[in-house]
Structure 1
Amino acid sequence: MNLDSARQSFLAEVAELLQSMEDALLALEDDPDDPESLNAVFRAMHTIKGTGGVFGYEAIVEFTHTVETLMDRVRSGQVPLTRPLIATLLECRDHTARLVDAIVAASVPDGPLDPDLARAGESLLARLGRSGDADQDAAAVARSEPDAKYLPVVSDLWMITLRFKRDTFRDGIDPLSFLRYLGSLGELVHVTTRLDPEARHADDFDPESCYLQFGIGFRGEVDKPTLAGVFEFADQDCEIRILEPDTAHSKYLELLAAVPDEQVGWIGDLLLRIGALTRSELDRALETQAVEARGSTEGDTKAHKRRVGEILVEQGSIKPAVVEQAARTQEAARARRQEETRFIRVDAQRLGHLIDLIGELVTSSAAIRVLVKRAGIEDMNEVVDGVDYLVAEIRDNALQLRMVPIGESLSRFKRVVRDASRELGKEIELVITGGETELDKTVVEKMIDPLTHLIRNAVDHGIETPEVRRARGKPAQGTVRINAYHDSGHIVVEIADDGAGLNVERIRAKAEAAGLVKPEDVLTREETLRLIFAPGLSTKEQATNLSGRGVGMDVVRRNIEALRGTVELDSRLGEGTQVTIVLPLTLAIIDGFLVGAGPDQYVIPLAQVAECVEMDAERSARQQGEHYINLRGEVLPFIRLTDLFENAGIQQGPRRESLVVVRFGHHKMGLVVDTLLGELQTVIKPLGKVFERLRGVAGATILGTGDIALILDVAELAAIAEGQRAGAGKRSAVA
């Protein structure tokens, strides 16, 4: 096996497990008794410990084993789960991530740890130890209170009940020999001898019959099958019941959680595998089940057939909690196996290469259509249509493979908000909606940093302290909302808070002081708010450890625009702020609308095209020198692509132009072009650093004819049109 590949798989698995652990711990803050969340935390540590052991990462094994052991005590009720303990466990989760990264990256995995990392781990383990001891003391006090009668009695003894049959002596069996052999395996703490209740009088006794019954308290390092083996030769001559101690009970729960999915089968076999059940106990339960089935009608059998686990509990062979955990393990394994059959793990680079090849296939398909049209082969049109359809289907399905629910990434912000609100002394709730909305994994990964910045700004600078909120008539707890949804081939992510909002006048004053605008400049409210995205602008006087002064919004804007997206901001003083991000679903292939302007061709993302309007020569001439047009009573800013890119060329006779109305967010604008060439599938090619300052262009593509067409950035064109309308005049495409 390729060791590097195995390590990468280990890192990917650890990342998923730690995210699952974090989600479970945050859920436990609201519901500390949720068994699924408790098991998720335990499983995460247990699995990381096991896989780390395979690679020989002893430091990981030692740390996770301690956390796993504590979680086992929490699951069994020995240690109550308090908020301070949850906070410590979250820190353990973070330390595990750092530990894994440090050890996997080290040239010698079993070498000494970084001293700071080692000290941090020791400190956390010490805190876990104190938490466990203190919580166990608290639990002991709780058991001494009136409600204690409803709690299980803690015992470290095996309780064994022997009821010999009447023919025991006749079969040559000495009951006391079993006690002597049992004593050689451990300590007989107490032995209670009783007579068969049916033989209470001397006249009832038969000197050759056995009437003995034993109740034994046994202590020893043995398992249930070993104890059952002591009485193997007498299983036909006596009834045997073995009840495990609480320590064994906890061990069974741990063993059940550790059973690999492929080894989880029928519940009886599962209990035998972990040693919680003996074969004779299982056979007795199956016999009881069969007898009950024979004594019932067919309809009653189907409706009332009791499960084996229920019969085992009734017979006293096993504790209900162990059966319940076994049933949960069985169900969880079945669900995971079904899930695994639906999914396979694929290297993202391979998937990216597949998308690139499909992009080339799209280009080749377009070239075939052009050649067929030139050759005038009518019979080939139907075949070409079929190929185009199949290519489109392959393209859409391949792109769908890279789609992931955005909620998986948004859930990490719960921890960000939780930690930040505690650090700042605020009460903040994070509400996430639309988590099922799917987006290209590449886009998701690149939008995390901008979203993190916006969330921290909302928590730090947006939401007020509880005292301030109460004084303003608001609830003490503030709310930050993240909402995601699809809209016209794009994904929209809204980050909103009900905090203090932004002061437009203060923004204007700061912008003037920074030289971004002049005092005589007239700006609308929206234009003033947009100044927040200017480099270095902030309305905060003091910096904080969490998000500084709130600067860096220009970085957010640049990162979003690098993804061919747009970002808008709306805010009301005293009510809150909302930032809206609009992104394409994928960065690889898009449906486009091909237009011509001068000698060149351009592609407009089809999802942003609202309509096309023909402009006659008179109307076109009338609009020369203007930067807006009246379209059915709506004033639209517009740009002539020939003016923008300075490629008008030589025009013979009156120019016949068309207006392509495009939308971006909640706004519209027009693009004046010479020709409308129709829809096409297009592969986006980056332009490279030489053209990185080219305004209004998102990329390029190769057409079926072999010509190159520029893909237009509608958001950037809108900014240019707005500047023209404000009197900035014609701006060159090259800054």
Structure 2
Amino acid sequence: MNMDDALQIFFEEAHELLTEMEAALLRLSEQSGDAESINAVFRAAHTIKGSAGLFGLDDIVAFTHRAEGVLDRVRAGQIVLDDALIGTLLASGDYIARLVGAVETATPQVDDEVVSVGADLSAKLERYLESQARAASGGEAGEASNTSRRNEAERDGVHGCDAASCAREAEASIARWRIAVRFGADVFRNGMDPLSFIRYLGTLGEIERVVTIADQVPVLDEIDAETCYLAFEIDYATQADRAAIEGAFEFVADDCVLDIARIDDRRCAGSEADQGVSDATPDVEFAGASATEQLTTAIASAASEVSAALTASTGSTAATASPAQRPSAKSPAGPAPAERQSMRVDADKIDHLIDLVGELITAAASASMLAKRTHNVELQESTATLSQLVEGVRDSALQLRMVKIGGTFSRFHRVVHDVARELGKDIELRVSGEDTELDKTVVERIGDPLMHLVRNAMDHGIESREARATCGKRAHGTLSLNAYHDSGSIVIEVSDDGGGLDRDRILAKAIERGLVESDRQMTDSEIHALIFEPGFSTADQVTKLSGRGVGMDVVKRNIEELRGSVDIKSRLGEGTTVAVRVPLTLAIINGFQVGIGRSVFVVPLEMVDECVEFTATGEHDYTDLRSAVLPFIRLRTLFEVAGEPPARQNIVVVKHASQKFGIVVDSLMGETQTVIKPLSKIFAQARGISGSTILGSGEVALILDVPMLLQQIQIQQSTAAPVPAGDL
């Protein structure tokens, strides 16, 4: 692992830790005394600071150190964790994320706005530290606790006592250590810099002496430039304990020989070792140097560089990162960890794999078709086996792209927390179905539409405290997110217990804008769907969040681009539920081929309920299916396919959103694996078609957009006369 790879791991884990930190803070906003959540926030900040220090990211270290100082005092019960402090810590997490992002994108310098935000947050954190220091010096805690706090205040630059007493206390708590470390031969190959570990020690204490040992350096002709021969002996003074010093070498715990011994010269000779640590010299033996003169000079130069770097970094304090969470090239010392059950894979590699699987499916279908034409039984059996294996590869490859939607849901905890306070409302978020899996591309693209639906529900749906009290409701509203599987699709519901949609008001606004005729009879679903019209809004005033009629039309368009649909159910005074239905994957599906003349169409197999013979006569668009009315649509008529239909046609009964309807086709051609190819922009306005695929023969088949066909059926039903009972 080189340094770039290690830094990339730091970026990934920093973002994960910041997400965990935010989630813990949001839990604390509901239950401020949760010690586990407080410790989780502290560990996240602590780990980010320690890891950033190893990479020399001083801005991140300096700011995170202030936040960590406040969190440490919160853990000790010295600072009260209220809503104001939680808000400051949430904003601090956002700021750390921006600093990490700036390093990740190699931004040369942050803009003035970011600098201003950082300065403001630093000032707020310092005020918490200063107020606590004043309380400590005022005698609110015991003397032992005061001593500890003053030591911390002295290290952080927050003086809660006079300089002389602080200096005496700090000196009394400083211990001197001798550290002997010999780095392993593969340290360079693993992307680690031995100097960085010594430099990091300088942030924990004071380096008094560094001796470079060159006893294992071979003769010049035998030196391997990628092999590390370095060893150091360091005299070190610090307030940190032995565990913190060991933690500084955690990255190379299995790739170095390390010995740490207490050399506190204030103890009497012959006394027992302090804290059970021997006062003897290190066990690591470093024989006399046997290197060439040139290499010895080079190592001495490196030692000078170490000393210069340590001098520059002395005076700042930091704590080492948690071994379990810091990016590491080697496993920490101790019991061998369990074998890893997961690994990180670049998303581009998975996408490329899916593309290759798609080509493999097309090639296998072509081979199967050719085998049938030869009437060779053995060849047909072989291609059948091949098709089964390809199907297994397809399922496994698609499973690699499946991710849980819980990651998308978790980001809304912060949204609800911030927006509720901005609106002055009490809103509780309830989440269910977090383990529901769908394609990562769908997850990435569904986030923005869901964000708008959530914010719209909070702004327009859930009433104020006063309005809810007048209606006899609880003071705090409830916003729910739920996800579940249904007929080969994923349904995501955004529900609120607010005032609901006023159908009469929506209809009046639509008539006023000329969207519908004043004498038109419309169902509740059709009226509710009007809110997705561009520029449509019934808000009395414009807010920061909504009211301009911008957004809901974009929500619907983005969902339809995912081959999905959106439906609204609402009851005035009780609340609203917006159901977003999207496919499991956008890449490969199981399809059912049907024919109209010489044209081939594909219906998603998950939506096919059954196939029946078409026996109806006349021009009406419904038939009898086991004593129930089944509306249908004729594909030949819809797509204006030339020619006469055959004497015997079929109906493919499909189901979408708990509604059934039929598709009249000429012939049934059976199941097939379908690789979805998007249509070009020139066909963007094509109704009833969601994509295309390539058949084994090389011809193109169109994939039917079942939700759009259902809308066409509903339009037919709303304009048609009632069904005569005798026609069934």
TM over 0.5: yes
Structure 1 residue 336 displacement after superposition: 13
Shift of 1:397: 1.2
Name the one with the larger helix percent. 1
The separation in 2 between residues aligned to 1:477 and 1:356, in whole angstroms, is 49
- Correspondence 1:649 to 2:643: yes
Measure, in 2, the Cα distance between the counterparts of 1:438 and 1:153.
50
Alpha-carbon shift at residue 142 of structure 1 (Å): 9.3
Secondary structure of the residue aligned to 2:175 is: coil
Counterpart position of 1:219: 172
> What is the CA–CA distance in structure 2 between the aligned matches of 1:635 and 1:670, rounded to whole Å?
10
Which moved further from structure 2: 1-10 or 12-21? Answer: 1-10
Give the counterpart of 1:720 among 695, 703, 712. Answer: 712
Displacement after TM superposition at 1:340 (Å): 7.8
Match of 1:38 in 2: 38
**What amino acid is the match of 1:17?**
L
Which residue of structure 1 aligns with residue 58 of structure 2? 58
Distance in 2 of aligned mates of 1:333 and 1:485: 41
- Contact 2:623–2:630 (8 Å) recurs in 1: yes
Q: Distance in 2 between matches of 1:449 and 1:693?
A: 23
Distance 1:436 1:333 in 2: 32
Residue 81 of structure 1: CA displacement?
A: 2.7
Distance 1:15 1:118 in 2: 20
Per mean C-alpha deviation after superposition, the further-off stretch among 694-703 and 95-104 is: 95-104
684, 691, 696: which is aligned to 1:692?
684
Correspondence for 1:407: 406
The structure-2 alpha-carbon separation of the partners of 1:658 and 1:221, relative to structure 1 and needing over 3 Å to count, comes to same
Range moving further from structure 2, 89-98 or 452-461: 89-98
Using the TM superposition, give the Cα deviation of residue 551 of structure 1 relative to its aligned residue in structure 2, in angstroms: 4.1
Give the Å deviation of 1:552. Answer: 2.0
- Report the CA distance between 1:31 and its aligned residue: 3.7
Give, in whole Å, the separation in 2 of the partners of 1:37 and 1:339: 26
Superposed CA offset, 1:399-423 (max 9, x none): 1111111111111101111111111
Shift of 1:645: 1.0
Determine whether 1:422 maps to 2:421.
yes
- Confirm whether residue 631 of structure 1 aligns to residue 622 of structure 2: no
Q: Distance in 1 between matches of 2:9 and 2:386?
A: 38
Asked whether 1:115 is paired with 2:112, we answer: yes
Q: Relative to structure 1, is the Cα distance of residues 414 and 259 closer, same or farther in structure 2, using a 3 angstrom cutoff?
A: farther
8 Å CA contact 1:599–1:647 kept in 2: the answer is no
Q: Does 1:281 align with 2:273?
A: no
Q: 1:469 to 1:340 in 2, by over 3 A?
A: farther
1:219 is paired with a residue whose SS is helix
**Residue type of the alignment partner of 1:684:** I
Q: Deviations over 1:380-433 (max 9, x none)?
A: 333223222221111111111111111111111011111111111110000001
Displacement of 1:689: 0.8
SS in structure 1 at match of 2:570? strand
Higher relative contact order (CA 8 A, sep 6+): 2
Distance in 1 (alpha carbons) for counterparts of 2:703 and 2:139? 70
Any idea what the Cα deviations from partners look like across 1:575-594, whole Å, max 9, x if unmatched?
A: 00000111111110001111
Q: What SS does the corresponding residue of 1:367 show, helix, strand or coil? A: helix
Matched, 1:606 2:601: no
Q: Alpha-carbon deviation of 1:10?
A: 4.8
Cα root mean square deviation, aligned: 3.8
For residues 220 and 18 of structure 1, do their structure 2 counterparts lie closer, same or farther at Cα, with a shift above 3 Å needed? closer
Aligned to 2:131: 134
Q: Give, in whole Å, the separation in 2 of the partners of 1:434 and 1:122.
A: 41
Partner of 2:511: 512
- Counterpart code for 1:466: R
Mapped pair 1:18 → 2:15: no
- After superposition, what is the alpha-carbon deviation per residue over 1:604-630, rounded to whole angstroms, capped at 9, x for unaligned? 0111111111113xx2x32x2x23333
Whether 1:28 and 2:22 are equivalent positions in the alignment is no
Query: Which stretch of the first structure deviates more once superposed, 382-391 or 370-379?
Result: 382-391
Match of residue 672 from structure 1? 664
Work out the CA distance in 2 between the residues paired with 1:672 and 1:262: 69
How many residues align structurally?
594
Deviation at 1:658, TM superposition (A): 0.7
Aligned to 2:69: 69
The amino acid that maps onto 2:25 is: L
Amino acid at match of 1:668: K
Contact 1:427 1:476 in 2 (8 A): yes
Residue 448 of structure 2 corresponds to 449
Q: Is the 8 A contact 2:487 2:656 kept in 1?
A: no
Q: How far apart in 2 are the matches of 1:335 and 1:81? A: 36
Equivalence for 1:181: none
Aligned residues of 1:485 and 1:491 also touching (Cα < 8 A): yes
In the alignment, the residues of structure 2 paired with residue 335 and residue 445 of structure 1 have an alpha-carbon distance, to the nearest angstrom, of: 39
- Structure 2 Cα separation of the partners of residues 610 and 48 of structure 1: 53
- Which SS does the other structure have where 2:147 is aligned? coil
Listed one character per residue, the Cα deviations across residues 32-84 of structure 1 (whole Å, up to 9, x for unaligned) are 44444334333433444445455554333322232233323333444343322
Q: Partner residue of 2:528?
A: 529
How many angstroms apart in 1 are the aligned matches of 2:333 and 2:341?
A: 13
Q: Distance in 2 between matches of 1:12 and 1:327?
A: 15
Structure 2 spans left out of the alignment, 5+ residues? 151-164, 180-237, 265-271, 279-318, 722-728
The letter for the 1-side match of 2:680 is: G
The change in CA–CA distance for 1:153 and 1:66 in structure 2 (over 3 A counts) is closer
Query: 1:532 and 1:405 mapped to 2: Cα distance?
Result: 30
* 1:21 partner amino acid: M
User: Structure 1 residues 270, 420: closer, same or farther in 2, change over 3 A?
Assistant: farther
Q: For residues 440-519 of structure 1, what are the structure 2 equivalents within 5 Å?
A: 440-519=439-518
**1:92 CA drift (Å):** 0.8
What aligned pairs does 1:108-187 form with structure 2 within 5 A after superposition?
108=108, 111=109, 113-135=110-132, 137=134, 143=140, 153-156=145-148
Q: Return closer, same or farther for 1:526/1:599 CA change in 2, 3 Å cut-off.
A: same
Pairing of 1:232-381 with structure 2 (within 5 A): 260=250, 263=253, 281=276, 341-381=340-380
Larger radius of gyration: 1
- CA-to-partner distance for each residue in 1:193-236, whole Å, 9 max, x for gaps? xxxxxxxxxxxxxxxxxxxxxxxx9815215889xxxxxxxxxx
Query: 2:42–2:68: 8 Å Cα contact kept in structure 1?
Result: yes
Does the aligned pair in 2 maintain the 1:669–1:718 contact within 8 Å? yes
Normalization by structure 1: what TM-score? 0.73
Q: What letter matches 1:119 in structure 2?
A: S
Asked whether the equivalents of residues 692 and 702 of structure 2 are also in contact (C-alpha less than 8 Å), the reply is yes
Shift of the 339–95 alpha-carbon distance from structure 1 to 2, 3 Å rule, reads: farther
Structure 1 portions without partners, runs of 5+: 159-185, 191-216, 227-246, 284-321, 730-735
For 2:588 and 2:81, the matched residues in 1 are separated by 50
Mapped partners of 2:149, 2:511: distance in 1? 80
Q: Distance in 1 between matches of 2:516 and 2:654?
A: 29
Contact 1:157 1:218 in 2 (8 A): no
8 Å Cα contact 1:187-1:220 kept in structure 2? no
In the TM superposition, residue 719 of structure 1 has moved relative to its aligned partner by 1.3
Name the CA shift for 1:511/1:4 in 2 (closer, same or farther; >3 Å). Answer: farther
Query: Which residue identity does 1:221 align to in structure 2?
Result: I
In the alignment, is the contact (CA less than 8 A) between 1:640 and 1:671 conserved in 2?
yes
**CA–CA distance in structure 2, aligned partners of residues 335 and 34 of structure 1:** 31
Distance 2:637 2:254 in 1: 71
Moved more, 628-637 or 365-374: 628-637
TM-score under structure 2 length normalisation: 0.74
Q: How far apart in 2 are the matches of 1:12 and 1:555?
A: 31
Please name the residue that 1:682 is paired with: 674
Letter in 2 for 1:656: R
How much does 1:596 deviate? Answer: 0.6
Distance 1:7 1:650 in 2: 67
Cα distance in 1 for partners of 2:360, 2:461 equals: 49
In the alignment, the residues of structure 1 paired with residue 344 and residue 636 of structure 2 have an alpha-carbon distance, to the nearest angstrom, of 48
Q: CA deviation at 1:259?
A: 7.4
Kindly indicate whether the alpha-carbon contact (under 8 Å) linking 2:27 and 2:37 is maintained by their aligned counterparts in 1.
yes
Change (3 A) 1:459 1:337: farther
- CA distance, structure 1, for counterparts of residue 519 and residue 63 of structure 2: 64
Q: Between the two proteins, what is the percent identity of the paired residues?
A: 48
Q: CA deviation at 1:507?
A: 0.8
Q: Which residue matches 1:232?
A: none
